[in-house]
Structure 1
Amino acid sequence: MTGLPPPSKKKLGLVIDLDTCVGCHACAVSCKEWNAGGFAAPLTDEQPYGREPSGVWFNRVHSYEIAPMALADPVRAAPSQTPSAGAPAPRSPCASPAQPAMTLHFPRSCLHCEQPACVTVCPTGASYKRAEDGIVLVDEDKCIGCKLCSWACPYGAREYSPVEGVMKKCTLCIDRIYNENLSEAERQPACVQACPTRARHFGDLGDPESEVSRLVAERGGVDLMASLGYRPTNKYLPPRPRRGGDDSPPAPAETLDTGALPGVLRWLDKVLSR
């Protein structure tokens, strides 16, 4: 099995704002466009209508319809407990009518964990974590396509290429962020550059003074499924509260306290853990 390097001071990663993501899939498309000829070698759908029309995706965006009580009671809001047609939706006693139903768009990719199970389970050393910046990568020359890393990853971040017989994943566009032929503004992952709502942010989460670290501190950024102990580098910013009804006062311009919103992330953890 593969060992991990000592913890690095530099921790490159993404901060994803679930409040401003609109589910447009620009991140997924730009990621695929860049990586079709980049660091990870061509993906499986260079001939998009061939044997693998869907191909491999490093970025995927899932959309969920969340009932009003999901913000306060994520367990009762799970899709499996949706009431039958015509029946009133059950309400949590602590749910506020000022928190309407919402659509949550959830971008999913590798989280570049500090303790990645996908690395330690790899029998050949193909999956590894860089000591200098914490990025988790796959050496395709060593990969035997056993899929152990895919089974070990609880976030569904690994993609198997049946054409090449190897595992693939997000590389944080390592061939962009260190490319001196690109301007400083372009040295960031393709998904970050393409996001039209600026829901994706890239930087050093090991530096408490970095822009991304300050954003996490100000907005209450969280780890996905933190209880598993893999310590993802990437963070998610939970949605801000919404006010419902035409006669409701407008939401204040200031950043709202997100401390009352862990229910959304707990609900999302429950859905993704199935």
Structure 2
Amino acid sequence: MTTLPDHTEKKLGLAIDLDTCVGCQACVISCKEWNTGHYGAPLSDTDPYGADPSGTFLNRVHSYESQPETGPAQLTHFPKSCLHCEDAPCVTVCPTGASYKRTEDGIVLVNEDDCMGCGLCAWACPYGARELDALAGVMKKCTLCVDRIYNDNIPEQDRIPSCVRTCPANARHFGDFADPNSNVSRLKAERGGIALMPEQGTKPVNTYLPPRAKSAPTGALTPVAEEPKGFLAWLDRALEAL
């Protein structure tokens, strides 16, 4: 079994704005491309164009419709990946020590050379953030693009997770939650960032910025004219004659 560090120097993670995310899936595709072409073994796909496609994704976006007590129904797009928990149960159950949490930045990783694909970490994770790569036979998970954020060979503006760099709505933010003055810490304080399923006691580092309540429409649209005129009147008569 693997033990967790008593303290980490940083708490790197994501602040995800559920009010801004539009569910475009750009982060999913960017994550898949980067982690297939760079860190570790490629993320496999099984029969991707067949009748029953399946594949390994480190980041997924789910969409939910909810009905608040007041106001109209809301559609919320909910990105989900590893939350790099402070008390990560996926680490402590690993029988080979393949899963571990780094002391320098708090990132939870998998040493794929030591992973035997038993799936215990997936069972222990309450968020469903781990996926077994069926072809590679090892467990895969979000790495916060550890091969990007410390890479001096790429431009400085690219030294953030691929999903953050790609998001067109600026719904994903990366930083150090151990620093109260960091961008993500300020966002968490200003927007009332929430932890996912805190009752599990895992102390997830990633935080979600809740969606703002939507206001109801002020009134119905009124027609510009009672009867169409000019070209619109001709078009209306032509369509009725069909």
TM-score, with normalisation over the residues of structure 1?
A: 0.77
Deviations 1:26-64 (A, max 9, x none): 000000010002113211139844899431000000001
- Does structure 1 conserve the Cα–Cα contact (< 8 Å) formed by 2:164 and 2:174? yes
Q: Does 1:11 align with 2:11?
A: yes
What is the aligned length?
220
- In 1, the alpha carbon distance for the partners of 2:203 and 2:116 equals 27
Please list, as runs of the form range in 1=range in 2, the aligned pairs for 1:121-270 lying within 5 A after superposition: 121-247=93-219
- In 1, the alpha carbon distance for the partners of 2:219 and 2:41 equals 55
- In 1, the alpha carbon distance for the partners of 2:163 and 2:15 equals 12
- In 1, the alpha carbon distance for the partners of 2:26 and 2:121 equals 27
Letter in 2 for 1:57: F
Unaligned residue ranges in structure 1 (runs of 5+): 72-94, 249-274
Partner of 2:40: 40
- Does structure 2 conserve the Cα–Cα contact (< 8 Å) formed by 1:122 and 1:149? yes
- In 2, the alpha carbon distance for the partners of 1:21 and 1:180 equals 30
Q: What's the offset of the Cα at 1:227?
A: 1.2
Unaligned residue ranges in structure 2 (runs of 5+): 221-242
Partner of 1:66: 66
Structure 1 residues 134 and 45: CA distance shift in structure 2, 3 A: same
In percent, how many aligned pairs have the same letter? 64
- Does structure 1 conserve the Cα–Cα contact (< 8 Å) formed by 2:90 and 2:125? yes
- In 2, the alpha carbon distance for the partners of 1:18 and 1:49 equals 31
Deviations 1:154-186 (A, max 9, x none): 000000011111100000000000000111110
- In 1, the alpha carbon distance for the partners of 2:111 and 2:158 equals 25
Structure 1 residues 48 and 224: CA distance shift in structure 2, 3 A: same
Bigger Rg over Cα = 2
TM-score, with normalisation over the residues of structure 2?
A: 0.87
Deviations 1:79-110 (A, max 9, x none): xxxxxxxxxxxxxxxx22xx210101000000
- Does structure 2 conserve the Cα–Cα contact (< 8 Å) formed by 1:13 and 1:204? yes
- In 1, the alpha carbon distance for the partners of 2:50 and 2:157 equals 36
- In 2, the alpha carbon distance for the partners of 1:224 and 1:237 equals 11
> Superposition RMSD on alpha carbons, in Å?
1.8
